[in-house]
Amino acid sequence: MNDEAISFERHPLKPFLPENARLLMLGSFPPPRHRWCMDFFYPNRTNMMWEIMGEVFYGDSQRLVDAENKTFRREAIEMLLKERGVALYDAAVAVRRLHGNASDKFLEIVEKTDILNLLEQLPLCHDIVCTGQKASEVVCMDYGVRLPKLGGCASFIIGRREMRLHRMPSSSRAYPMPIKEKAAYYRTMMLSIGIL
């Protein structure tokens, strides 16, 4: 089957853009709908993002997890992100899934996100963290950024704004690192921005 025969899908969520956001977190693209446990970002119950955030902000990886209902505590997550000034979206607004799964490796970007447009709605934001390899590739390629080492950051310009790109370990369980180690990277990054 050639690429033309594989239909593409558009992003099912609107950007989450609190006015006070100082950090924009960019994933690649949501997983297929059947893997969702909630209508929000990082909706796959096996993804560790909300466990990482629970560990970072509360010292409790289960704080944002609703284990009984096999989902996450969306209202608590949104409240935390608004309080701390964290915006969320993805690097692509339209993709083709070449193997029908959520793997970045088999994700073809049909239309990239207009990151400059997102930032125009986030006047306080000077930091971007890419939470997936594909998202990192998009930002690095489009803005001439050298991919930082894990846990590092690189300065670059979008429009007239000085920005920093942070590279964190993936929140996917497929990325082989214990949650406390992943959380330590995110905690250090949040501290450097002044969010924590």
How many other β-carbons are positioned within 10 Å of the β-carbon of residue 46?
11
User: Residue 174 and residue 190: Cα distance in Å, rounded?
Assistant: 23
Domain ranges for the chain:
3-193
Superfamily the domain 3-193 falls into: Uracil-DNA glycosylase-like domain (3.40.470.10)
Residue 7's pLDDT band, with cuts at 50, 70 and 90, is confident
For the cut 60, the answer to whether the pLDDT of residue 3 exceeds it is no
pTM listed for this prediction: 0.92
Angle between helices 74-84 and 49-58 (to 10 degrees): 60
> E strands of the chain, at which residues?
9-10, 23-27, 65-66, 71-72, 86-90, 92-97, 107-112, 127-130, 153-158, 161-167
Digit-coded pLDDT (tens) for 44-63: 999 999 999 999 999 999 99
Report whether pLDDT(132) > 80: no
Query: Residue 96 — very low, low, confident or very high, per pLDDT cuts 50/70/90?
Result: confident
